[in-house]
């Protein structure tokens, strides 16, 4: 395609230029710092204790726009830990869960429900490392979040009851605020007989907010963390929705690690996360992502998620409709 679309003389000049620069320009750069080095088969086959620590960032905490800030957090942890850390984002909850299960990933900023599903499966191989406490007052200095029901700001919808027959969008089936909590709410209200006119999957809270703002869906339950971050950034999309109802509090998306991650790395990650708010540079990064601090968190913090899922499973109401 490249050869077909670029004119021959220009392509020749570009190739010549590249060759000249390659020949004349000394290489002052650090490839590891500036350039992507394609991973080869030998690298992928490297033992887990020698390769970089791999961490995934799910869309539970922040939208894609906020990924650069989390990259700064990863760079901070890498410097403190003295280990290279690789961060991937833009993957679905189930993919991240699968990677954790297979040992492709060592740790993840993951949603509450995916954590519960991973933790509660037989032979579970993950454990809680820490969880953020958000700065806003509604979080009561606890590692909790909310599921906010959003509609278009100009719509006449006043409560969940007004959504009958309308289009509802969710991010993923394994999302606690996006799917588990609204499902439990419908079950609680006895609205399990095909309450919505249409149910759509967006892939992320960020996409759900955009669809409601653009009128492609009438409502959605989104993670309060993602919505607040979008509003704090002055997003023109988030400005076009309003919150009708907030459900919760519920366990906040935690940071989890595989149990077989070397003890030193695991404890180092936890120590630096928990002390991040006391370090000036760490404090600046936390302020940018609206986090007050990271705290140790107990598995019982996520019992409300288990309870909601259990009730839905028991009622046979597993799919939003």
Does 189 participate in binding another protein (rule CB under 8 A)?
Answer: no
* Nearest distance from C-beta of residue 270 to another protein, angstroms: 23
Burial of 280 (0-12, 13-18, 19+ CB in 10 A): exposed
Listing DSSP states for 230-261 in one string gives HHHTT-TTGGGEEEEEEEEEEEPP-EEEETTS
Segment 191-220, which members bind another protein (CB under 8 A)?
201, 203-204, 207
Segment 60-119, which members bind another protein (CB under 8 A)?
64, 86, 88-92, 94-95, 98-99, 102, 104-105
* Alpha carbons 213 and 124: distance in angstroms, whole number: 39
Does 237 participate in binding another protein (rule CB under 8 A)?
Answer: no
Does 125 participate in binding another protein (rule CB under 8 A)?
Answer: no
Question: Quick check: 290 and 228 in contact, CB under 8 A?
Answer: yes
Does 21 participate in binding another protein (rule CB under 8 A)?
Answer: yes
- Taking CB under 8 A as the criterion, the residue among 24, 32, 137, 314 binding another protein is 24
Segment 258-287, which members bind another protein (CB under 8 A)?
none
The position carrying tokens 């710092």 is: 33
Q: Considering only the stretches 18-26, 124-132, 143-151, 236-244, report the one whose residues sit in contact with another protein under the rule CB under 8 A.
A: 18-26
Query: Helix crossing, 205-213 with 224-232: angle to 10°?
Result: 60
List the structure tokens of 12: 């020749």
Q: Considering only the stretches 37-45, 76-84, 110-118, 130-138, report the one whose residues sit in contact with another protein under the rule CB under 8 A.
A: 37-45
* Nearest distance from C-beta of residue 70 to another protein, angstroms: 12
Strand partners, 87: 55
- Taking CB under 8 A as the criterion, the residue among 8, 27, 47, 190 binding another protein is 27
Q: Closest by alpha carbon to 113, among 182, 176, 170?
A: 176
Count other C-beta atoms under 10 Å from residue 203's C-beta.
13
Peptide bond into 159 cis (omega under 30): no
Provide the binding-site residues for another protein, judged by CB under 8 A: 1-2, 5-7, 10-11, 13-14, 16-18, 20-22, 24-25, 27-29, 31, 34-39, 44, 54, 59, 64, 86, 88-92, 94-95, 98-99, 102, 104-105, 172, 201, 203-204, 207
């Amino acid at each position: 395609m490249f050869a077909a679309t670029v004119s021959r003389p220009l392509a020749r000049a570009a190739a010549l230029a590249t060759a000249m620069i390659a020949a004349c320009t000394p290489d002052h750069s650090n490839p590891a710092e500036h350039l992507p080095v394609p991973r080869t088969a030998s690298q992928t086959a490297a033992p887990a204790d020698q390769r970089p620590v791999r961490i995934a960032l799910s869309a539970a905490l922040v939208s894609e726009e906020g990924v650069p800030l989390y990259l700064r957090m990863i760079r901070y942890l890498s410097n403190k830990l003295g280990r290279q850390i690789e961060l991937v984002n833009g993957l679905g909850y189930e993919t991240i869960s699968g990677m954790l299960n297979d040992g492709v990933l060592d740790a993840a900023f993951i949603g509450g429900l995916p954590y519960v599903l991973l933790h509660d499966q037989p032979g579970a191989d993950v454990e809680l490392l820490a969880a953020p406490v958000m700065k806003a007052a509604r979080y009561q200095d606890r590692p909790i979040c909310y599921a906010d029901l959003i509609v278009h700001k100009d719509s006449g919808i006043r409560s969940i009851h007004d959504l009958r027959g309308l289009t509802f969008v969710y991010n993923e089936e394994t999302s606690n605020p996006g799917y588990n909590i609204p499902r439990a709410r419908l079950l609680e209200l006895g609205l399990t007989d095909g309450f919505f006119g249409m149910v759509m999957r967006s892939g992320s809270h960020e996409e759900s907010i955009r669809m409601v703002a653009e009128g492609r869906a009438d409502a959605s339950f989104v993670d309060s963390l993602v919505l607040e971050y979008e509003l704090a950034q002055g997003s023109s999309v988030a400005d076009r929705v309003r919150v009708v109802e907030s459900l919760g509090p519920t366990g906040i998306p935690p940071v989890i690690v595989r149990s077989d991650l070397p003890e030193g790395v695991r404890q180092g990650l936890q120590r630096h996360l928990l002390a991040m708010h006391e370090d000036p540079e760490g404090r600046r990064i936390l302020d940018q992502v609206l986090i007050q601090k990271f705290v140790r968190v107990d598995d019982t913090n996520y019992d409300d998620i288990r309870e909601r899922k259990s009730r839905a499973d028991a009622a046979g109401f597993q799919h939003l409709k």
